[in-house]
Structure 1
Amino acid sequence: TAAPAPRAPEPSRPAPRSSNLSTLSAGVKYEGNISGAGELQVDGSLKGDVRVSRVVIGEGGSVEGTVHADVLDVRGRVSGAIVAKQVKLYATARVEGDITQEQLAIDQGAWFQGRCNQAKRDTPGAAMLEAPKPDKADKTETKSPA
């Protein structure tokens, strides 16, 4: 029976892959900004801005603040702006705020209130917003009859 005991740590070897994983456990409330490399799992309540490579917000988790990430999976709540390369809103997600992303996936049942902007490195967002300005052209037309 002593032989299986040393083998028990072997399945936990995948855990070092997640050694950069930080977890805000359920029931824990935290106020302040979080930044750094690695991953963040939010199952509790966070008030502050997050800037991490990968963020997973669990079903019971909530973030009130701006979330910057390469990859963001939302199963819980976000109240604030999201800026990420890949965003996935699962069916249990509730997001209130604008999303700027390269890729966005929204499962049926997810709740989202805000605007989403497709962001690419080469495309300045301001130029796209200035495109629908034909009103000034209409004003120049009114000058021609005068």
Structure 2
Amino acid sequence: MFSKPTTKPSSAAARPDALEPPKKAIACSLIAENVRVEGDLASDGDVQLDGALRGDLKVNHLSVGETGQVEGSIVAESVEIRGRVTGAISARSVRLLATARVDGDIIHDQLAIEAGAHFAGRSLKGPPVAEQLSLPIAAE
């Protein structure tokens, strides 16, 4: 008479996140070899930079191609550099490939430098940069 019902809640009602739509994958942004950008760039996705950027970058993952050039600071989860960077880099994971030329300090959790890469600056083992990465792109 006063007992609880024996039916189990549906699986959708049991999971609070079930009403949220699945997250849409964000495509990688490409700045082509023939493009020059003056100003800051922010993205909560991945960026492939084959052109030139004069300004600061705040992205999830940055890949600087062999023809890519950055003059400014970089804040990211991970960075892979084949081209030229003049400025500070702050990322959890930094990888300098053989064709990389970096002039500036690198704050990192993990750093890999291939033979042939040029690096002039300080390597500083630092705290995670997650706090710096809050990128409310859509809200701006």
Any unmatched runs of 5+ in structure 1?
1-15, 122-146
The one of 61, 69, 78 aligned to 1:54: 61
The 5 Å alignment of 1:1-146 reads 19-121=26-128
Structure possessing the higher radius of gyration over alpha carbons: 1
- What displacement does 1:36 show? 2.1
Note if contact 1:20-1:37 (Cα within 8 Å) is conserved in structure 2.
no
Report the Cα distance in structure 1 between the residues aligned to 2:104 and 2:127, rounded to whole angstroms.
Answer: 20
Q: Which amino acid aligns with 2:67?
A: G
Deviations 1:53-101 (A, max 9, x none): 0000000000000000001000000000000000000000000000000
> Partners of 1:45 and 1:36 in 2: how far apart?
17
Q: Stretches of 4+ moved more than 3 A in 1?
A: none
Report the equivalent of 2:11: none
Aligned residues: percent identity? 44
Q: TM-score, normalised by structure 2?
A: 0.72
Q: CA deviation at 1:27?
A: 1.5
Q: How many residues align?
A: 105
Code of the aligned partner of 1:64: E
Q: Aligned Cα RMSD in Å? A: 1.3
Render the CA deviation track for 1:96-135: whole Å, top value 9, x for unaligned: 00000000000000000000100135xxxxxxxxxxxxxx
CA distance in 2: counterparts of 1:105 and 1:46, whole angstroms: 23
TM-score (norm 1): 0.69
Question: Which is helix-richer, 1 or 2?
Answer: 1
- Give the match for residue 138 of structure 2: none
